[in-house]
């Protein structure tokens, strides 16, 4: 027998305010608590729902004009809290402006959520204003693009939209496929007309605030174990994103500043230049120091990457011998090996301290980094810019216990660092957030300091600008060799690498309503102490010498070689010299 359903009433198009309310509700159920909204017409219905919820205290809302900066702000929130934050934009070129932050989130494995309002499907490709193929703009850098299908009929829309959002959030969190990363939820909205009533009626989701469907982390315990013999001379090299849980604390460790040490002690990175381990364990993505790559390339070293099996990239893949998804550690490190490395570490740290104490050397970016770290308190959050600042922190300072270090290391660009630090400060109001950047990094992203008059101000933010009038990183790279600083190159180095800017930082800060002080390197410690009580964002500009950097590094290397040549090898396979 054939059963035929009686025709029911025709479904009607859903009001955009109702669709927007369902979208926001399901995002909140999926763990999104912070939204960064960029004003526009097409995304207006989402904006009304966000402001309603922010007024009720159920979400945190920030409004920013610049989509690029807004996306980095959301990234800073995500990176500092571990919870997904969302940036909400209108259609058109607004979406294209998200790309720099999305790229950083992609390589840093951050579950950044992009909510992009769009024209209805019927309008796409017709030449309508502010219409682009925006669902294709970011595909190479996001884990998933969910172009919401919004069926007619309120109940059907409710089921379909909520399921699609759960699907996208599950992929972004790494629970459904691959590793965590950014996802785009493209929301077609027919208009931006405000709701008739402040409170929009919309169909309910699951009971007790649950998401439409729940996803769970996949079990990786079934992976075949790989046995690591720690009785062989071994060193751990840890980069951004490393999880040291499970690695015995007795194994000597080289760690970039952004790696949480969890009570361990990290060795100076130059230790790698003077040792000959039999095996190297690589955790995270260490990209900061060139000597890491040189060590991994040695044929007499077994390199074991501690991975999760879901990486699109494998760090230093040509030099990896083993990808260990489920490592099992056996044996113990010989005390002589760890003692020898500890002695090397002590010599190198003493060398850097003595070199910095020589005349003129504290008036460099390296000296500024050392002074900043020395002034930190337990509980502080240090945001470090790319290029020299993060390297200077690694080379010169032992971070105090209880200090967390963050940096955009996914693609290690100078873009978005101020905005990201502002996001971290807003998300961590009970911690002082000290940001160390160079002058080019600050000038590039100073718009991150812009606040609307109705917006929350990051009163716990202190920005230290190491102003060496240009791109200091190139002074210590091959391009900075003296032979490239004279004829026939002449001013070419300064123009394309140094790239000094004519920016009045005091006036720039004043235009954003941010306090500014010019501080000599010798007075930076007291200035940082005073800045803690400022109760508003403050920028400390420290003038330093860029041209002394190459000399400083050479002098430290010379001192280290002389000091290490006095150490007699004691059993462990250490290569001194």
Report the alpha-carbon distance of residue 55 to residue 196 in Å, rounded: 18
Residues 541-553 as b/e (b if ≥16 CB within 10 A, e otherwise) read: bbbbbbebbbbbb
Q: CATH number for the domain including 192?
A: 3.40.50.970
Burial class (CB in 10 A: 0-12, 13-18, 19+), 166: buried
Report the alpha-carbon distance of residue 111 to residue 170 in Å, rounded: 10
Q: What is the CA radius of gyration of the chain?
A: 26
CB count in 10 Å sphere of residue 248: 14
Q: Could you tell me if 412 and 531 lie in one domain?
A: yes
Q: How confident is the model at residue 6 (pLDDT cuts 50, 70, 90)?
A: very low
Residue corresponding to tokens 């009533």: 197
Q: Could you tell me if 305 and 404 lie in one domain?
A: no
Report the alpha-carbon distance of residue 553 to residue 348 in Å, rounded: 12
Question: Does residue 342 lie in a domain region?
Answer: no
* Nearest residue to 89 (alpha-carbon basis) of 44, 147, 55, 154: 44
Mean pLDDT of the chain: 88
Report the alpha-carbon distance of residue 383 to residue 433 in Å, rounded: 7
Q: Using an 8 Å Cβ cutoff, are 154 and 14 in contact?
A: yes
Q: Using an 8 Å Cβ cutoff, are 231 and 333 in contact?
A: yes
Which tens digits make up the pLDDT trace of 151-176? 888 899 999 999 999 999 999 998 88
Which of 43-47, 78-82, 101-105, 571-575 bottoms out in mean pLDDT, i.e. has the lowest? 571-575
Cis peptide before 488 (omega within 30 of 0): yes
Q: Could you tell me if 246 and 379 lie in one domain?
A: no
Q: At residue 130, does pLDDT exceed 60?
A: yes
3-state secondary structure of 174: coil
Q: Could you tell me if 235 and 276 lie in one domain?
A: yes
Q: Could you tell me if 423 and 519 lie in one domain?
A: yes
Question: Does residue 214 lie in a domain region?
Answer: no
Q: How confident is the model at residue 180 (pLDDT cuts 50, 70, 90)?
A: very high
Question: Does residue 215 lie in a domain region?
Answer: no
Q: Using an 8 Å Cβ cutoff, are 450 and 65 in contact?
A: yes
> What was the pLDDT predicted at 4?
42
Question: Does residue 220 lie in a domain region?
Answer: no
Which tens digits make up the pLDDT trace of 303-313? 998 876 565 44
Question: Does residue 1 lie in a domain region?
Answer: no
Domain boundary residue among 209, 243, 259? 209
Q: Could you tell me if 198 and 239 lie in one domain?
A: no
Specify the DSSP class assigned to residue 574. B
What Cα–Cα distance (Å) separates residue 125 from each residue in 128, 133, 279, 490? 8, 8, 57, 51
Return the HEC string of 84-150: CEEEEECCCHHHHCCHHHHHHHHHHCCCCEEEEEECCHHHCCCCCCCCCCCCCCCCCCCCEEEECCC
Q: Using an 8 Å Cβ cutoff, are 394 and 548 in contact?
A: no
Q: Using an 8 Å Cβ cutoff, are 535 and 459 in contact?
A: yes
Q: Could you tell me if 190 and 235 lie in one domain?
A: no
Half-sphere exposure of residue 112: CA atoms within 13 angstroms, side-chain side? 34
Secondary element (H or E) of residue 283: strand 279-283
Half-sphere exposure of residue 202: CA atoms within 13 angstroms, side-chain side? 26
> What was the pLDDT predicted at 540?
98
Dihedral angle computed from the Cα positions of residues 453, 456, 460 and 461, in that order, rounded to the nearest 10 degrees: -60
Q: Could you tell me if 389 and 286 lie in one domain?
A: no
Q: Give the β-pairing of 538-543 and 461-467.
A: parallel
Q: CATH number for the domain including 287?
A: 3.40.50.1220
Question: Does residue 558 lie in a domain region?
Answer: no
Question: Does residue 355 lie in a domain region?
Answer: no
Report the alpha-carbon distance of residue 58 to residue 62 in Å, rounded: 13
Question: Does residue 31 lie in a domain region?
Answer: yes
How many domains is the chain partitioned into structurally? 3
Q: At residue 576, does pLDDT exceed 60?
A: no
Strand partners, 326: 225
Q: Could you tell me if 477 and 404 lie in one domain?
A: yes
Q: At residue 181, does pLDDT exceed 70?
A: yes
Concatenate the DSSP letters of all residues of 485-548 into one string: SSTTTTTHHIIIII------HHHHHHHTT-EEEE--GGGHHHHHHHHTTS-S-EEEEEE--STT
Q: Could you tell me if 494 and 409 lie in one domain?
A: yes
Report the alpha-carbon distance of residue 345 to residue 296 in Å, rounded: 20
Domain range for 256 is 225-336
Q: Could you tell me if 243 and 331 lie in one domain?
A: yes
Which tens digits make up the pLDDT trace of 240-293? 999 999 999 999 999 999 999 988 999 999 999 999 999 999 998 898 998 998
pTM of the model: 0.91
Q: At residue 217, does pLDDT exceed 70?
A: no
Return the structure tokens found at 361: 């050397």
Q: Could you tell me if 395 and 519 lie in one domain?
A: yes
């Amino acid at each position: 027998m054939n059963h035929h359903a009686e025709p029911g009433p025709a479904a009607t198009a859903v009001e955009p305010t109702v669709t927007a309310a369902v979208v926001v509700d399901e995002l909140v159920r999926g763990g999104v608590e912070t939204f960064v909204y960029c004003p526009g017409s097409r995304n207006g219905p989402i904006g009304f729902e966000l402001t309603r919820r922010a007024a009720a205290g159920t979400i945190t809302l920030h409004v920013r004009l610049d989509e690029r900066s807004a996306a980095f702000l959301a990234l800073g929130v995500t990176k500092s809290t571990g919870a997904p934050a969302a940036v909400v934009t209108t259609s058109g070129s607004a979406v294209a402006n998200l790309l720099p932050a999305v790229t950083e989130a992609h390589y840093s494995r951050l579950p950044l959520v992009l909510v992009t309002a769009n024209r209805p499907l019927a309008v796409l490709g017709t030449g309508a204003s502010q219409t682009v193929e925006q669902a294709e703009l970011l595909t190479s850098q996001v884990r998933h693009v969910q172009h919401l299908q919004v069926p007619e009929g309120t109940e059907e829309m409710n089921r379909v939209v909520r399921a699609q959002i759960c699907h996208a959030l599950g992929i972004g969190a790494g629970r459904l496929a691959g590793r965590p990363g950014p996802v785009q939820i493209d929301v077609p909205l027919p208009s931006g007309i405000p709701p008739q009533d402040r409170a929009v009626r919309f169909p309910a989701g699951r009971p007790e605030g649950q998401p439409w469907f729940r996803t769970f982390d996949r079990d990786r315990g079934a992976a075949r174990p790989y046995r690591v013999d720690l009785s062989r001379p071994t060193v751990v090299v840890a980069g951004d994103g490393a999880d040291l849980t499970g690695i015995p604390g007795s194994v000597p460790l080289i760690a970039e500043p952004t790696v949480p040490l969890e009570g361990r002690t990290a060795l100076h990175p130059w230790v790698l230049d003077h040792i000959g381990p039999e095996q190297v364990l690589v955790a995270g993505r260490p990209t900061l120091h060139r000597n890491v790559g040189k060590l991994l390339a040695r044929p007499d070293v077994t390199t074991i990457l501690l991975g999760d099996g879901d990486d699109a990239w494998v760090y230093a893949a040509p030099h990896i011998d083993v990808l260990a998804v489920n490592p099992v550690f056996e044996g113990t490190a010989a005390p002589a090996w760890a003692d020898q490395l500890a002695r090397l570490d002590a010599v190198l740290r003493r060398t850097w301290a003595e070199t910095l104490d020589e005349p003129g050397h504290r008036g460099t970016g390296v000296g500024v980094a050392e002074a900043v770290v020395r002034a930190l308190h337990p509980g502080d959050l240090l945001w470090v810019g790319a290029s020299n600042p993060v390297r200077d922190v690694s080379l010169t300072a032992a971070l105090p216990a209880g200090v967390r270090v963050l940096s955009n290391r996914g693609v290690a660009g100078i873009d978005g660092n101020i905005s990201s630090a502002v996001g971290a400060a807003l998300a961590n109001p009970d911690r002082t957030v000290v940001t160390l950047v160079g002058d080019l990094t600050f000038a590039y992203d100073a718009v991150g300091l812009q606040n609307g008059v109705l917006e929350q101000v990051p009163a716990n933010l202190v920005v230290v600008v190491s102003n060496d009038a240009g791109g200091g990183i190139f002074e210590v790279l091959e391009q900075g060799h003296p032979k490239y600083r004279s004829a026939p190159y002449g001013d070419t180095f300064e123009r394309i690498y140094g790239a000094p800017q004519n920016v009045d930082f005091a006036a720039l800060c004043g235009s954003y309503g941010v306090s500014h002080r010019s501080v000599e390197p010798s007075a930076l410690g007291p200035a940082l102490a005073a800045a803690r009580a400022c109760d508003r964002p403050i920028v400390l500009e420290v003038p330093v010498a860029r041209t002394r950097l190459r000399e400083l590094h050479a002098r430290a290397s010379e001192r280290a070689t002389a000091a290490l040549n006095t150490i007699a090898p004691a059993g462990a396979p250490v290569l001194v010299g």
